[in-house]
Structure 1
Amino acid sequence: MEINNNQLLRFTTAGSVDDGKSTLIGRLLYDSKSIFEDQLESITSTSEKKGHDGVDLALFTDGLKDEREQGITIDVAYRYFTTPKRKFIIADTPGHIQYTRNMVTGASTANAALILIDARHGVIEQTKRHSFIASLLNIPHLIVCVNKMDLVDFSEDRFNEIISEFEEFSSKLLVKDIRFIPISALLGDNVVNRSENMHWYGGGTLLNILETLHISSDINKIDARFPVQTVLRPQSAEYRDYRGYAGRVASGIYRKGDEVAVLPSGFTSKIKSMNAGDKEIDEAYAPMSISMTLEDDIDVSRGDMIVRKNNQPEGEQEFDVMLCWLNNDSAQPRAKYTIMHTSNEQRAMIKNVVYKIDINSYNRNEEDKDLKMNDIARVTIRTTRRLMLDSYRDNRITGSIILIDENTNETVAAGMIV
């Protein structure tokens, strides 16, 4: 299969504490020669000062001074690298259970998720939690990296045991593609280069899989959704009559002359022109940032959505979402929050907690209504005005929301519309 070397793959890493996520990313960057010489010199010098034997690969991702001093990774670290076949953005998320919220952040735009499992410990609660979140966020590709195979004598039997453990619960996950790789991030086995210690493994290396994942089908090309972020009204005499609507195409394709509807008003018109920067274009598609003009002078403002006339999302004031609670403080019954949906901002409240998910068994608990940090629950939300919604499985952008505490301005929850 031919790979577009301009195609960007976003992937997230997740696992329990000390499963080796930072070392894996360091190995991936190091062995693929994606590290600048000055960066390598700096890491080599730091490794020597700490008394490490050789380069400490984890330091390539533990970039913050405080993290290095404490020896832990405590935030989402984004890293960028390129190979001849593809460009990558990595979201390296922490493994501590209290930072599960960071995985939600890092995985929200990912095309693939790397779930690390320590070969000695096998599947644990965090494995199930991270895998469930990946499924909830509709990440189509799950790559299960069984790490530290060197500490179990590169045992094929142990690798197969972990596959069986994972498959026992993953049958309940809605993930299209799950792959298993036995690796040693520390030694480099099956990360970029094939392992000399595991001849029994016939699959590709991690980098090979990442370079060849097919991701074009992950984008919704059918439902045209264009949330308006701002209205452009230039003050110069030359553009006095110009009224453009700027934003990023969330999904679908727009063409000059298309019949469109503006929601929630329902007014209809045709696309008069589109621009990407200074260049006029005849066609726009996700995730392009564009400005658009319409043939008719109708009222359009920030938070409105321009869609195809014959393909419109549901306008709802009350709807269910799968909610990940991210805040240290518990949710207050019927408390008011600010809800953000694309560029639309409204007031909202959690009307009802339908059920919470037991992360170990994936069973539903309909009795416990108290939302605490890291809880995942199906809730009913009511807003002051209608929001133009798609289900999250149909459209990640128009199917997601966040809740913000009106007093502290903190993001307290992220939700996927059912």
Structure 2
Amino acid sequence: MAPTLTLAWKSVRNRKVTAMLTVMTVAISVILLLGVERIRTQAKTSFANTISGTDLIVGGRSGQINLLLYSVFRIGNATNNIDWKSYQEFSQHRSVEWAIPISLGDSHKGFRVMGTNHTYFEHYKYGKKQPIEFAKGHEFNGLFETVIGSEVAKKLGYHIGSEIIIAHGISDVGFSRHDKLPFKVVGILSPTGTPVDKTVHVSLEAIEAIHVGWESGANLGNNPSANQLEMMQFRPKQITAMLLGLKSKIQTFALQRQINDYTQEPLSAILPGVALHELWGMMSVAEQALMTVSGFVVVAGLLGMLSSLLTSLQERRREMAILRAMGARPRHIFSLLVLEASALTLIGLVIGTASLYVLLAAIGPIIQQNYGINLELNPLSVYEWGLLVAVQLAGSIIGLIPAFRAYRQSLSDGMTIRV
């Protein structure tokens, strides 16, 4: 086997250009195959890590995916709000350890504005129950103070002391802005890789204050100044959703049923993990489509290698005949072609895998900043090793076709072959 392996390696080196093209085809196929798998798994992990330690998410009656999207991912809008009295009742429930109120609806230059209180900074967690931390500054204390996410600060160039203008609704246009009520940045959060990075946080009282003089989204013109508003006492009338942490996981389903059957107003309580699983299930079609496309690319790469081997085989018939004359048996010719195909596939796998890690290191920060997906440079998983083994086996099997042809030709060609 060793002499045959050496001969196969020398044969590959003798056809450098063809071999390099074949290797690059396999390598590109492997990059796409493993890249899709890595992005798929990391995206799922990033989605799952967006919220942690929260037992229930409560909002107006709607589907659980819609509730999850607007309350956690800041995507879309709520169908209904929650009355403040309902929040107070359930936040003081005997099963509830902490409650985080959330009020959405406003924006700032494409970033969502969220009203909340100090419990958000104390109890909201992401990843593996990691708390949000301040890179600079502190929580908001004054009525017109704000804490911004890391992405907001980076993209808009804000720092501690900057002033921002909040707009009514998602569209940040001139007539919808609260121009006379600027907010001062007092805190910038550390990066989390979650929607927190793209959120402007203000107090619930501030949400009420900036909407004094507004009715159904329209400015009626009676807008008190910031000084006048600071002298007033504000209490939220409604919120968009609330996040609940319970004293015991055993009480989760009982409280969920109680909230869903609440008679004072229609509410929905969802389990974040179950909703995330359903959301990912809806995306499984796109996931399977990507895997199918990458699989076809691998097949195309292997067929390209087969075409290359079959094309070169016609030119190598004299070489095979000489090997036969020197004492090589048909099985040696057969083994030579199989080893060549296996070697080309293996080199393609190594180059493709190495190139993937280089690409992940280069584009990982860009993807995290723009899409919140953290592409970690983890070792290959068992499933990824299985994909590589499958490609290697397929490459070796592909090599059987030209090997069998060379085997048959070597029996009949001898030294009389005309080239």
* TM beyond 0.5: no
Larger Rg: 2
The one of the two structures with greater contact order (alpha-carbon pairs below 8 A, sep at least 6) is 2
Richer in strand (by share):
1
Richer in helix (by share):
2
Using structure 2 for the length normalisation, give the TM-score: 0.23
